[in-house]
A and B are shown apart, each in its own frame.
Chain A
Amino acid sequence: MTTTSSTLPLPVSFSLDPRLQRPLIILLALAAPLLALAFGKSWVRVLDFALLYVLLAIGLNLVVGFAGLLDLGYIAFYAVGAYTWAFLASPHFGIHLPFWIVLPLGAAFAGLAGIALGFPTLRLRGDYLAIVTLGFGEIIRIFMNNLNQPINITNGPQGIDQIDPLTIAGIDLSRDLDLFGVQVPSLLLYYYAFFGCVVFALILVRRLQISRIGRAWAAIRDDELAAKAIGIDTRMMKLLAFALGATFGGVSGGLFAAFQGFVSPESFSLMESIVVLTMVVLGGMGNLAGVVVGAIMLTALPELLRHFAVPMQMALFGKTLLDPEVLRMLLLSLAMIVMMLVRPAGLLPARTRYAHREGRNA
């Protein structure tokens, strides 16, 4: 396995002036929901979700891609963030705190959960972390499902509804905004709010990646023993990656709760963890652009399957043999296997300035 990416040609070669690339992408991202609006509001909704998934994938990439730790219960941190928001900003307990209190609290709780989970497991081999996080995801779900008695905390499988929307500077994002006579739909408002979060996250994570911490993570990922030998506090660094990744999950969870207005244990199944993991793996572990592309591709996938795969099957066989949900699971699992076997570095492999060596069973 040679993943020294300098030898791999990038799958997409831009002939564009590289200085124009970034402004163009930003412009495209800003215009995307307006274009989507032309096809119907449901597509804007898909875009909103895509951004939430991008945020999640950026967080998981921090853990899996940068530090090389496999987290299979990532969605549990998303759940922690979402339920924090639901508890502190809904009629369920009658508490209505503003977002600038709830969101950091959700992030902090998720981060703490990450530390609590990482502390015992991170000194062990990565495999254990994978299983323990998997188990943690299930525990959180069991608690969400059952903590409606004897004291009703989570409202059980019914979930919590009527959650307060995101309100920034007095603007309620769940209502269409009347901007100088132009009606701006709520979905667009959410899009730009999420977009702001994603940009902020991208800048933050990018700065982290090229910092001392990011290099320490890369060193641990590539050869933990060597990293230890050159004086990196590997356990602390892994814990940091894990907690930071969890924090991202918590923030996206809070945003999800506000956007949906409703949370239930169903949204936080293991399948969701796997979906986010596939986004990271598909796009290219450790590469931010790849992760963003992976997240957008996989969020759009079920919609595309609904619109194209079903009519195609109808035309070919006269009935729907595989419904879109099954087809999606099939494609996701195949994507994971095939990517690892054929192109383990992802569609857009990470470009590292530091020559790193892989292929040895450390």
Chain B
Amino acid sequence: METFLQQMLNGLVSGSIYALVALGYTMVYGILGLINFAHGELLMIGALVALQTISLLSSAVPGLHPAVLLLAGVATAVPVCMAVGYLIERIGYRRLRNAPRLAPLITAIGVSFLLQTLAMIIWGREFHVFPQLIDTAPMQPMAGVVVSPLQIFTIVVAFTLMGALMLLVNKTRLGRAMRATAENHRVAGLMGINANGVIAATFIIGSGLAALAGVLFASNYAIAHYAMGFTPGLKAFTAAVLGGIGNLPGAMVGGLVLGLVESFGAGYIEHLSFGFLNSSYQDIFAFMILGAVLIFRPSGLLGERVADRA
């Protein structure tokens, strides 16, 4: 039982991060029908920019409160990622909006590798230690279950952001314009909506969320490096598909479910496979889920049927 609760907690932490990234995938997909492969790299850029700011600031002004450092990190990472996200859309994808399906996909791969390479040039190949700005001292709310303030913080921040996004999409003018553009961007244009602006806004919002997810991810794993975006990006995509791509609540549910499955899977895989597989196989769960979802329910848990649109 203790293991169960512990794994559930770990799953919620990583799941809420996946959910944040998955929202970016699903928003862009909902509006453009495009899988933005480069989205995972925004998480990486967010983490590294925040790390850069934090280390510069803490060496310039020693003795600053960790919360100030963290806020400064976030305050630089989010705008930088938003700018990068906007540039990706403006330069890479906008011209290809009416191109054959393969073209934007290949561009997206190219952008993803370009961002990784640039990050490698700027920050080098080595793993950087991400400072523990939030208390990681474990607490024991009950016997056998360990939780740190950082983990609670991660879950709270992720859920707050998701709630804010839902409000934005469902209650504001911009949100209504986004939903209209997702429905049909030509008709939305006829209704006086600036579709290009809305699409850019979608990329910018998604990138901001990815930046925050990056900071949370790096804080939880205490590490940041140039290729760190790839795996969470892939998993977040899986989460988006799991929930039904294009569907915002779906991305959140998908992220959490994926996090939980992964965490339980890693905890119990040795028993399940009679000792043949160990926790180094944790990463294959996401892909197994992805395969299973695509076979049995391609529209995802909460999605409408979009898959067969050729």
Residues of A that sit less than 8 Å from B by CB = 1, 64, 68, 70, 72, 120-121, 123-128, 130-132, 134-136, 138-139, 142-143, 145-146, 150-151, 224-225, 270, 274, 277, 281, 285, 322, 326, 329-330, 332-337, 339-341, 344, 358-362
B4 → A minimal CB distance (Å): 25
- Interface of chain B residues 77 through 99 with chain A (CB within 8 A): 92, 95-99
Find chain A residues with CB under 8 A from B57 CB. none
Find chain A residues with CB under 8 A from B287 CB. 132, 135-136, 138-139
What CA separation (Å) do A128 and B295 show in the bound complex?
Answer: 11
Q: Are A274 and B35 in contact (CB under 8 A)?
A: no
Find chain B residues with CB under 8 A from A337 CB. 92, 107, 110-111, 114
Q: Are B121 and A120 in contact (CB under 8 A)?
A: no
Ranked nearest first, the 5 interchain pairs of A and B with the lowest CB-CB distance are A336-B110, A135-B287, A333-B113, A333-B114, A337-B110
Q: Are A121 and B106 in contact (CB under 8 A)?
A: no
Q: Which of A142, A335, A344 contacts B281 (CB 8 A)?
A: A142
Interface residues contributed by chain B, number (CB under 8 Å) = 52
- Interface of chain B residues 59 through 117 with chain A (CB within 8 A): 92, 95-107, 109-114, 116-117
Q: Are B106 and A138 in contact (CB under 8 A)?
A: no
Q: Are A138 and B109 in contact (CB under 8 A)?
A: no
Contacts A142-B280, A334-B110, A337-B107 hold; do A1 and B117 have CB atoms under 8 A apart? Answer: no
Given contacts A131-B35, A135-B290, could you give 9 more A-B pairs where the C-beta distance is less than 8 Å?
A1-B98, A126-B101, A127-B34, A135-B234, A135-B291, A138-B283, A330-B121, A337-B92, A340-B99
Select from chain A the residue with minimum beta-carbon distance to B95.
Answer: A341
Find chain B residues with CB under 8 A from A340 CB. 96, 99, 103-104, 106-107, 110
* B286 sits at the interface (CB 8 A): yes
* B24 sits at the interface (CB 8 A): no
Find chain B residues with CB under 8 A from A360 CB. 98
Q: Which of B100, B117, B281 contacts A326 (CB 8 A)?
A: B117
A337 → B minimal CB distance (Å): 4
Q: Which of A125, A132, A146, A150 contacts B307 (CB 8 A)?
A: A125
- Interface of chain B residues 104 through 151 with chain A (CB within 8 A): 104-107, 109-114, 116-118, 120-121
Q: Are B310 and A125 in contact (CB under 8 A)?
A: yes
What CA separation (Å) do A131 and B100 show in the bound complex?
Answer: 18
Contacts A333-B113, A336-B107 hold; do A128 and B307 have CB atoms under 8 A apart? Answer: yes
Main secondary structure of the interface of B (DSSP, over half): helix
Most central of B113, B237, B309 by chain A CB within 10 Å: B113
B201 → A minimal CB distance (Å): 21
Q: Are B291 and A120 in contact (CB under 8 A)?
A: yes
Select from chain B the residue with minimum beta-carbon distance to A281.
Answer: B106
Q: Which of A70, A120, A333 contacts B105 (CB 8 A)?
A: A70
Residues of B that sit less than 8 Å from A by CB = 33-35, 92, 95-107, 109-114, 116-118, 120-121, 230, 234, 237-238, 241, 275-278, 280-281, 283-284, 286-287, 290-291, 294-295, 298, 307-310
What CA separation (Å) do A282 and B97 show in the bound complex?
Answer: 21
> What number of A-B contacts does a CB cutoff of 8 Å give?
148
Q: Are B101 and A362 in contact (CB under 8 A)?
A: yes
Select from chain B the residue with minimum beta-carbon distance to A335.
Answer: B110
Contacts A125-B307, A326-B120 hold; do A131 and B114 have CB atoms under 8 A apart? Answer: no
Q: Which of B102, B104, B290 contacts A68 (CB 8 A)?
A: B102
A266 → B minimal CB distance (Å): 14
Select from chain A the residue with minimum beta-carbon distance to B110.
Answer: A336
Find chain A residues with CB under 8 A from B97 CB. 361
Select from chain B the residue with minimum beta-carbon distance to A227.
Answer: B310
Find chain A residues with CB under 8 A from B241 CB. 128, 131
Q: Are A344 and B307 in contact (CB under 8 A)?
A: no
Contacts A125-B307, A138-B287, A326-B120 hold; do A361 and B98 have CB atoms under 8 A apart? Answer: yes
Contacts A125-B307, A128-B307, A359-B98 hold; do A277 and B109 have CB atoms under 8 A apart? Answer: yes
Q: Which of B102, B109, B238 contacts A274 (CB 8 A)?
A: B109
Q: Are A124 and B117 in contact (CB under 8 A)?
A: no
Q: Are A70 and B307 in contact (CB under 8 A)?
A: no
Select from chain B the residue with minimum beta-carbon distance to A126.
Answer: B101
Q: Are A142 and B35 in contact (CB under 8 A)?
A: no
Find chain B residues with CB under 8 A from A130 CB. 35, 105
Q: Are B308 and A124 in contact (CB under 8 A)?
A: yes
A310 → B minimal CB distance (Å): 16
What CA separation (Å) do A85 and B298 show in the bound complex?
Answer: 36
Find chain B residues with CB under 8 A from A224 CB. 310
Find chain B residues with CB under 8 A from A135 CB. 234, 238, 286-287, 290-291
Q: Are A126 and B281 in contact (CB under 8 A)?
A: no
Select from chain A the residue with minimum beta-carbon distance to B29.
Answer: A127
What CA separation (Å) do A62 and B67 show in the bound complex?
Answer: 55
Q: Are A359 and B100 in contact (CB under 8 A)?
A: yes
Q: Which of A150, A285, A333 contacts B275 (CB 8 A)?
A: A150
A-B residue pairs in contact (CB < 8 Å), sample of 28: A1-B100, A70-B102, A124-B307, A125-B308, A127-B34, A127-B105, A130-B35, A138-B283, A139-B287, A146-B277, A274-B109, A326-B117, A326-B120, A326-B121, A333-B111, A333-B112, A333-B117, A334-B110, A334-B114, A336-B110, A337-B111, A339-B106, A340-B106, A341-B92, A341-B96, A358-B99, A359-B99, A362-B100
What CA separation (Å) do A294 and B118 show in the bound complex?
Answer: 24
What CA separation (Å) do A139 and B308 show in the bound complex?
Answer: 26
Find chain B residues with CB under 8 A from A358 CB. 99-100
What CA separation (Å) do A194 and B287 show in the bound complex?
Answer: 35
What CA separation (Å) do A70 and B37 show in the bound complex?
Answer: 13
Select from chain A the residue with minimum beta-carbon distance to B284.
Answer: A139
Q: Are B114 and A132 in contact (CB under 8 A)?
A: no
What CA separation (Å) do A329 and B112 show in the bound complex?
Answer: 11
Q: Are A1 and B99 in contact (CB under 8 A)?
A: yes
What CA separation (Å) do A70 and B102 show in the bound complex?
Answer: 7
B44 → A minimal CB distance (Å): 15
Most central of A136, A340, A344 by chain B CB within 10 Å: A340
Find chain B residues with CB under 8 A from A134 CB. 234
